[in-house]
Structure 1
């Protein structure tokens, strides 16, 4: 999701020192009216939702969240990101009502979501990520691009035996996760199941390998360029245990990059082609959103038995199993 200029500013509840970056980010926010694409049986594509400029009197769900229904809890620049934490009123006429959103980069794409008054599902691509553990061999999973912990929370709550290792480049994002998204509490609840590391996710490794890897790596509003390199996927494949899989948020045309010349759909296709060179015909895609505002998730490995996969999932997640199709260049 992206944010535009906002005329009234609120002070952060926590104070972080501004750090000097080699790539300074703009520190202005546009008028906060969030666009909404209706949820049917498909999740919203959180890093692929955009915000448009519309009348501040807009009240309908389809037109966005009125500015009076959104509170800015934190806004600052770290070394790696322009970070905003928003809280959406419970009274808002929107699927994100009662949630907190972590927005990163200048356009303000959503990187994490947490609902304050309900558990589990998010109505975003994180729910698709949560379908992966039942089709993995025994062992821990890794989250590359941990954010504030949305994927980890879902997986830990749905799969009581699962161990999660998460990597996040920006320590300020982890600090925000602990302060506003319940990450500190999650770590205390699961000291032997959740391990969070600050550092380059592409150097992630654990002893004896990972049974599954979630890849959710964006920078400056776009998939990182390393994901368009087959060598990256070759290295990641070597981090997997036998029978392990990778599930990837590959974005799409809705992802708004800081560089207006970058086309999210083109980057998505280039990333999928790089994956195909490593995984061959064992690559599947699940498409979200409309044709105009597409976004996709990729999955590696042989397609599992669909009936068995569904039976291993909560009923509300089973709809995603039938949505996978082979990737065709």
Structure 2
């Protein structure tokens, strides 16, 4: 059976917003499963041919999604580029700073048929108000050594880690070279590479074959294809291989999706795939798997972490103040 292409970071990014009816700062309110964008096509969106010679320009449907409560009006969204690469249907959107939405002033990378958001960046702020911020809490838990990002996308997680932790070296894997090209052109990835030439290394290829000498101190896993977690993440042998690629004391943090994920194949239910992936992790790491829920419901969308839960107060002290709110949100996965 042909394996699903790896290295794609497809997920449903959902803003992390304090719930208006809860006083706890750890309560979250999410947008609908997809960021509903009502937009109009620009006259001449760039097909990005100079960056990806093999890509074929394509056209978004003229059908306009109806604006919802958390949607963005058409005239506040601009399509910067759209084309088909070998692996993806790629679109880059720019959301006006005038929009009444958490993504106002951002650029969004959309991949696959459903248009799932894969990366986000803001011009005037570092934090994304999405689960990338949770990813950025991992480095203080790790022993010395490089961090691997499996499913690099346009570099959202890498940017946070490089700028917050001056000692961390990042190695990122992405299957689609066109995604990296878009990241360099529209998401400031080229600037990031110039700024950190000895701390950022990007590879094109199968992310699950990633390796570095002496192993990773930590791994961030964000591997989706066609809008769904890749099937390899529901296989215990995958987690055995990843575990072997860690240094002593190393950890893995994973975007395991959830019910909010919309796959191209309707038979790939996001909630069930998440549960199968967590069970595969639990089989390998036993009781050393913890889960952080990003939504109001436990199965809405989740991040998983391997290893013993650390001293929470020490973890908070090692984090920037803006990230400390996530520490108390982890719960053991009971299998």
TM-score bin (small chain): 0.7 to 0.9
Distance of 1:27 and 1:319 partners within structure 2: 41
Match for 1:8 among 30, 41, 44? 41
Alignment correspondent of 1:222? 228
Q: CA deviation at 1:257?
A: 0.3
Report Cα offsets for 1:245-291 as digits up to 9, x if no partner: 00000000001100112110000000000000100000000001122
Distance of 2:263 and 2:319 partners within structure 1: 34
Note if 1:167 corresponds to 2:173. yes
Match for 1:94 among 101, 108, 114? 101
Confirm or deny: 8 A CA contact 1:4 1:31 kept in the other structure.
no
Alignment correspondent of 2:70? 63
When the two chains are superposed, the root-mean-square deviation of aligned CA atoms in Å is 2.0
Match for 2:319 among 313, 316, 323? 313
Alignment correspondent of 1:85? 92
Distance of 2:76 and 2:329 partners within structure 1: 34
List gaps (5 residues or longer) in structure 2.
1-11, 13-33
Confirm or deny: 8 A CA contact 2:150 2:208 kept in the other structure.
yes
Alignment correspondent of 2:111? 104
Note if 1:156 corresponds to 2:168. no
Aligned residues: 299
- Mark the CA change 1:84 to 1:292 in structure 2 (over 3 Å): closer, same or farther: farther
Alignment correspondent of 1:43? none
Match for 2:202 among 196, 200, 216? 196
Report Cα offsets for 1:146-194 as digits up to 9, x if no partner: 0000000000000011100000000000000000000000000000000
Alignment correspondent of 1:117? 124
TM-score scaled by length of structure 2:
0.85
Report Cα offsets for 1:65-84 as digits up to 9, x if no partner: 11110000010000011100
Confirm or deny: 8 A CA contact 2:55 2:83 kept in the other structure.
no
Note if 1:253 corresponds to 2:223. no
TM-score scaled by length of structure 1:
0.86
List gaps (5 residues or longer) in structure 1.
33-52
